Structure 1
Amino acid sequence: MSRDAAEAETPERTAGEAIVLPEDAEHRLGETVRLLRQRAGFSIQELARRTGLSTGMISQLERGLASPSIRSLRLLSVALGVPISYFFEPHAPDPSSQYIVRRNDRRLLRLTASGVLKESLTPAQGGALEIYELTLNPGASSGADFVQHVGEKAVYVLAGRVRIWLDHEPHVLAAGDSVCFPSTVPHMFDNPEQEVARAIWVTTLHSGPPAREG
């Protein structure tokens, strides 16, 4: 099938369309976490200690019975020594270039409980930056706790409204608004509106102490 034909068969998601999350997303993500934990030689208890997550949460996550928040995935990525993009669904890249990511070749990360869909805009081989397009269902959030780590972040809102909390102070960003801040500032975000929001999210890969609550 040609690329044009494949794109024609793939309907584009509009700004106000909620994301639909497949049931097998949690099982694939849980298997990835389990294999990374075993490769690192960690028990569930050791991984819980390193992340601050409960052993029950990690056990349920590995069995596909729970969906993590973005904060939880960030904690897991630091403890397991991989970028958060490692948890994305695999997708065959465009063989014509190692630097280009076609729209239909984006790797996806679907967080059912959080109501968040992350689409990676950077190639699978990675680099100094992680760039995503986020789709946030009404009420979607990064999690219930603040997170901070070494690096920088920037957000540009494409549609809807995104509320980002910086050092416990809320800021509502509308379409066209942007923000850039050190990742050491305690932060979290959510969609407080009744319409779907979309945003471009940029973060630098960190190398430092594990993320922690603010």
Structure 2
Amino acid sequence: MKSINTKIGENLKKIRKSRGLTIDSLALNSGVSKSMISEIERGLRNPSISILWDIANALKTPLNYFLKEDNLCSPTIYKMGDHSSIDGDGYSFHTLMNFDEDKKFEIYFNEYMPNSQTETSFHYDGVEEYVLITSGSLNVHIDSEKFTIKEGEVIHFVADKPHYYCNETGNVAKAFILMFYSDSM
């Protein structure tokens, strides 16, 4: 099994080349230095989520594409722990299904600790988020609007505007998030 740094580097190089980009042009578009991109591609660097986020947005590629495994045979059972997890300050994102280039989506299972908030983020044009709350309630802030979503409810929105998730309760909130990437990728 490949190390995560090797996998990220190989996938980054593959998509960069498939888009006909040089390291210089990717560095210019992403704000990440040429040396950092080169070291990531060679598996020498363990990039932060912020750096991968900047590169993914410049490439108009889902973040999980960097963690994508080689093609899998059907049928496939997906379970938590099979793929990567991202831990933030009071929240965690568990990848259930990595980005599938043919189907244009990926699925996460997220947990938000009491009184926690994610960082503000936004995606490129054509990205949609579907959020199904399975436990507790969660506030979704999109631009200047706040939406409270409760257990059993789904919110769907175009995710190219600044947004973040906030659990303002004393209980853990859990949600499945489906990220859909339109054909405009």
Shorter-chain TM-score category?
Answer: 0.5 to 0.7
2:86 to 101, 104, 111: 111
Gaps (5+ residues) in structure 2?
none
Larger strand share, 1 or 2: 2
Query: What is the identity percentage for the equivalent residue pairs of Structure 1 and Structure 2?
Result: 17
- Listed as ranges, the matches of 1:95-106 within 5 Å are 98-103=74-79
SS at match of 2:9: helix
Paired residue type of 2:182: H
Q: Deviations over 1:52-90 (max 9, x none)?
A: x4439x56x9422x5315xx6554334346443323475
1:129 to 97, 105, 120: 105
1:159 is aligned to 135
- The 3 A distance-change label for structure 1 pair 89 and 175 is same
2:63 to 84, 107, 110: 84
Is this contact kept in 2: 1:91–1:107, CA < 8 A? no
CA distance in 2, matches of 1:107, 1:86: 15
Is this contact kept in 2: 1:167–1:187, CA < 8 A? yes
2:10 equivalent to 1:35? yes
Paired residue type of 2:86: L
- The 3 A distance-change label for structure 1 pair 82 and 183 is closer
1:204 to 177, 180, 184: 180
Offset at 1:159? 1.4
Count of equivalent residues? 170
2:147 to 147, 157, 171: 171
- The 3 A distance-change label for structure 1 pair 46 and 89 is same
TM-score, normalization by structure 1: 0.58
- The 3 A distance-change label for structure 1 pair 172 and 108 is farther
Moved over 6 A (4+): none
Task: Report the RMSD for the aligned CA atoms in angstroms.
Answer: 3.8
Offset at 1:118? 2.3
